[in-house]
Chains A and B, each alone.
Chain A
């Protein structure tokens, strides 16, 4: 049985060069589907991994109760002090989160740029933040350090430049990286200077905490939420980032699958057509084999293998195009939770490539099945007449 399948398949595949034109319809159609699918999912996974990278299981974010992002959160000095003195907290960093309009380098039009006011403690808490050019801001001065992404994406965000943020002048003194996380799309300034410049005396938007162990997250969340003096919520940082991007990531993924499904329907019809034509052109050959005693099963399997081989070729090409064309390609987008620009890279991961190839094989199988069955059930005598 295996020998039959093998032999008939080899024969079909040897036949391929004679049908290069019509076969390429499958390759191109399915290649397009896989290329687009992988590219869009790579965008989603790149976006998600940028957000995920900011997450440390030993860190937590405290926001005002009911606000799930920093922009709509505020807390006063007393509150900050109450939280900071709770057991299990190793470091606490109150942070002020503002949004400023700054023109983008690419388009010249204004987009939202996050300005984060931080105390010197923030640099020990966010140990992934490293200055790669220039220096840190000096406390008490109107100085800015800019994330690598903000520097790349926004006009005038260069060392030595001064920028105007909400009526006040600031000077850029350094560029930092933060392990590829969303912080790299931000400007960081000294917290007390920001508080007075933006007239938010003593308050902050959120607190970042470093805990003595990851298990502390749930316990502290419980304590903070049940404290009658506090109207606050605590999230583990990992969960917080996942929530920030979750909506958009899912939207991109859904969009990717929707586009892929629509294209896939077209590709399946192309595959169906091609394989029907292939089967029809070999009606007599297939009937001859069956007259000689070959079973219907090897015929079905071999036609499907041919279809799947073509589809796989398309899938490999599509995946290769999206890998070489898009992997690492940097774009920026609005994070829907905070309405700020986040720069991220397309990530064409091995899982995505594998998924793309699974899609290709499935489409090839669907496209090949009906023609294969037709070839196998057509009565031999009718097929031999070749009409």
Chain B
């Protein structure tokens, strides 16, 4: 069963009063449990497509059904709630909150749930131990390396147990060694925890970790490569 189903999705931006069509008819189905790498030249619309799948932005035309929800039909409030339940986001620059320590950063998504403070702390600790950082719970982002920060961000993405992880160039800011660790982590989350992962990357080596590689060019998905 497809957990992500895009049908003829278009996206147009207004740029200096001119309409720029970034996505020109995307059809995409992703099965639950899949690990998809999305590649393509800079400016080809990878982030835009990811934002649409993650419910951060709406398509100009076409149908977007993710985890049984037709995103077009949701209000921005419903969409926010849907994101909290459904999507774990991993960003290129981690986007951790600098004033909070790792533990509190990871707890953030749980503030949107009904869990007690004690439960929140326990779940955050579990997430941190999955990414191998139990011993850094009290550190602030500024006291952690890039790779460690990205692992905290991944803990934050999985703490509320969403079915889908949406990762925009998660290794783009890391050296090879740290990048490998992050990719291994994503693969474990995919394989052992059943997360559907969709990941944008420039790096062919990174894409090799995926089960499926998509190429986006000139607004279209041009070829699918089975890994």
Residue of A nearest to B48 (CB): A381
Given A381-B56, A384-B56, also A293-B99 (CB < 8 A): no
Given A14-B99, A15-B99, A381-B51, also A292-B56 (CB < 8 A): no
Does any Cβ of B come within 8 Å of A132's Cβ? no
Cβ–Cβ contact B111 & A3, under 8 A: yes
Main SS class of interface, B: helix
Which residues of chain B have C-beta atoms less than 8 A from A291's C-beta?
54, 56, 83, 89
Cβ–Cβ contact A292 & B84, under 8 A: yes
Q: How far is the CB of B152 from chain A (nearest CB, A)?
A: 13
Does any Cβ of A come within 8 Å of B227's Cβ? no
Residue of B nearest to A285 (CB): B97
Which residues of chain B have C-beta atoms less than 8 A from A11's C-beta?
97, 99-100
The residue in B76, B84, B89, B112 that gathers the most chain A C-beta atoms within 10 A of its C-beta is: B112
Does any Cβ of A come within 8 Å of B108's Cβ? yes
Q: How far is the CB of A354 from chain B (nearest CB, A)?
A: 33
The residue in A3, A15, A18, A379 that gathers the most chain B C-beta atoms within 10 A of its C-beta is: A3
Cβ–Cβ contact B99 & A292, under 8 A: no
Which of chain A's residues 372-386 have a Cβ closer than 8 Å to chain B?
A: 379-381, 384
The size of the chain A interface, using a CB distance under 8 A, is 22
Cβ–Cβ contact B83 & A292, under 8 A: yes
Cβ–Cβ contact B111 & A4, under 8 A: yes
A14, A285, A380: which contacts B56 (Cβ < 8 A)?
A380
Cβ–Cβ contact B99 & A384, under 8 A: no
Cβ–Cβ contact A294 & B80, under 8 A: yes
Residue of B nearest to A386 (CB): B93
Given A11-B97, A381-B51, A384-B56, also A292-B109 (CB < 8 A): yes
Q: How far is the CB of A190 from chain B (nearest CB, A)?
A: 77
- State A289–B108 Cα separation when bound (angstroms): 8
Given A4-B112, A7-B111, also A292-B89 (CB < 8 A): yes
- State A238–B122 Cα separation when bound (angstroms): 70
Query: Can you identify 18 A-B contacts, CB atoms within 8 angstroms?
Result: A3-B111, A4-B111, A11-B99, A284-B95, A285-B95, A285-B97, A289-B97, A289-B108, A291-B56, A292-B109, A292-B156, A293-B80, A295-B77, A295-B80, A296-B76, A381-B48, A381-B56, A381-B57
